[in-house]
Each structure stands twice: as C-alpha cells, then as structure tokens.
Amino acid sequence: MHVMKYSIAIVLLFICSECFCSNAIPQKFVVLDEKGEKLSNIVVEISAVSANNAISSNPKKAQEVAAKPAVMEQAGKQFLPHILLIAKGQEVVFPNTDHVIHHVYSFSPAKKFQLTLKKEVTSDPIKFDDVGIVELGCNVHDWMLGYIYASNADTFGQTALDGELAFDLLPGEYTVSVWHPRLAEQDIEKRFGFTIDATSKIHEITLTHPIYPSLIGYDTVEATDAY
C-alpha cells in the first residue's frame, strides 16, 4: 500500500517539477537550538502538503537521489559519514578503506544486517527499503557508531557547518521535520509548517528541547589509530 502511494506521489512530483522548475524560489533553512544557536549536520526533511507543489531542484528530489547507491565508508576506524541520509529504497555500499577488518552490523528494526568487511574491500550494495533510523555498529570496534537515515520525504538535506541548508522550492505549503541522534524525541516528532511564496526566505526551525550531549569523546579515541 505504501509503495503504491509513494509511486503515485513520485509520479506527480515528477510532473510538477517539470512544470514549475523554472519558478522555484531559493529558500534557506536554519535549525536553532533552544538558545538560538545554529546547529549543523541536522537532517531536515521537507514534504509538500499537497502533492502538486512539492518541487525542489536543489538538493535533488528523493527519487533522484535513490537512483544511485549511497556510500558508507569505513575509514579511520569510523563510519564516514557519521550520518548517511538516504532515500527510502536506496542502496548503500560499505567500502572498507582501512587496513583492518570490520564487522558492520545493525539490529535496528528498520534494517537488520551484518557485513564482514575484509580490509580494503567494498561490500555488495544493501538496499534500505524501510523508512527509519538504522544504527550501525562494528563488532570489532566498539566505539564505531554510524547512522543511516532512510527518508521518504519529498526532499531532504543536512545543515552545513554554517548551520544553513538551501532549497529551491516552489511556492506552496510544506511540512518540515528534523532529525539528529542528539535531538530530543519531542523535537524529532514535531512537524513544522511553512508557506513558501515568491520571495527567498530564511526559515528558522527552533528546537524546544536541549540537544543530547555530544559523543565527541568517542570520536577521538586515540587508541583507534593503532588498529
């Protein structure tokens, strides 16, 4: 049932984008924490309220993204990127560029799998058919933690280091949601409504809950270089 719905929506979006692409207005989104600080690397998902005005040219529309396998690299005994944002149904390849073996696994309900990756080997692509968060771990390296976020939004992206995310959107009504492992559940579940008109705007999404502490300590485990 879901697949059918999405298929129709994708078709509709495809048509619309053809029609209105020239009219897309550049918009900017920023995610602010409760203190008003801009946050980077936050997943922002945007969906049109009604199917016909959901148009985005930059970044690519989800279905465009999904056409090509995404890459979750094991490099420096870390997952790279930390958060891989993919479209639902997209394939992901896991290249191991380290000189050590990795045993990547996930017990997340969205996708359970395990891959034993010898050194400098790229796995076969794994398709992520379910929407949701897939938490990745490595059975060999406890500190390794990565996320694959499979989204079924019209378009999505992650805030840059300056905390901004640019979209070219047609005017219309949109809902926006955000995700990041450090965000509180309440903020994740929230849906923000936006009206896009002919003017470019900076849309602020303000979180109401404090973000979780950083896991940065894990990222700088000095001993990891020895592996």
Partner 1 sequence: MLTRFSSSTLCMPLKVKLLASFFLIGVALLIATAYSVSSAAKQHSMNLLIENMEISQSVVFSHINDTVNVIENAANNLTSDFNVKSLILNVESDPMSLKVALRNFSDRFETSEFALTDAHGSVTVASDNFSLPSIESIDLDANEQSVWLSMNDTYYLNIIVAVKNTPRSRSPMAYLVFSKKLSDVFNTRLAELSSFEVNAITRHDNGLSAHSTSGMDEQELLDIFKQQMAITEQIASTSIADKVYFSSIDSLDNINHRVWLMLVTPKSSAFLSIRTLFTELSALLMLATVLVGLFALYISNRISSPILSLSELTTKIGQGEDIDIPIGSTREVNKLARAMFTMNLQLNTRNKEIQTLAFEDDLTSLPNKNALIRRLDRVFDDKNSDQLALILLDIAKFTDLNEAIGYQAADNLLQQIAKRLSLHLGNNVFLARMTGNQFAIIRKEADAITDFIADIVDCIHKPFKVDKLNLGLTAKVGYAIKDRQINDSRRLTQAAEIALKAAKQGHNPSVKYESSLYLFDTRKLRLMSEISDITDNGQLSLYYQPQLNLQTKTVDSVECLARWIHPEEGFVPPDLFIGLAEQTGDIKKITRWVIKEAIQQHNQWKQLGFNLQMSANISAIDLADESFVSFITQLLLQYKMDASYLMLELTESTAMEEPENAIEALLNLSNIGVKLSIDDFGTGYSSMAQLKKMPVNELKIDKAFILELSKNTEDQNMVKTFISLAKTMDLKTVAEGVEDQKSLQLLTSFGCTHGQGYFISRPMDSRSTTKWFSSAEHNIQRLDTEFS
Is 175 a binder of partner 1 (CB under 8 A)?
no
- Which residue in the set 137, 151, 177, 205 belongs to the binding site for partner 1 (CB under 8 A)? 137
The residue among 138 and 150 lying less far from partner 1, judged by its C-beta, is 138
For partner 1, the closer of residues 1 and 223 by Cβ is 223
| 227 is an interface residue for partner 1 by CB under 8 A | no
- Tell me: does residue 122 bind partner 1 (CB under 8 A): no
Question: 157 or 181: whose CB is closer to partner 1?
Answer: 181
Minimum distance of partner 1 from residue 10's CB (angstroms): 31
Judged by CB under 8 A, does residue 188 bind partner 1? no
Which of residues 6, 14, 105, 192 is near partner 1 by CB under 8 A?
105
SS3 track for the chain: CHHHHHHHHHHHHHHHHHHHHHHCEEEEEEEECCCCCECCCCEEEEEECCHHHCCECCCCCHHHHHCCCEECEEECCEEECCEEEEECCEEEECEECCCCCEEEEEEECCEEEEEEECCCCECCCEEECCCEEEEEEECCCCCCEEEEEEECCCEEEECCCCCEEEEEECCEEEEEEEECCCCCHHHHHCCEEEEECCCCCEEEEECCCCCCCCCHHHHCCHHHHHC
Residues that bind partner 1 (CB under 8 A): 103, 105-108, 112, 135-139, 142-145, 181, 212, 215, 218
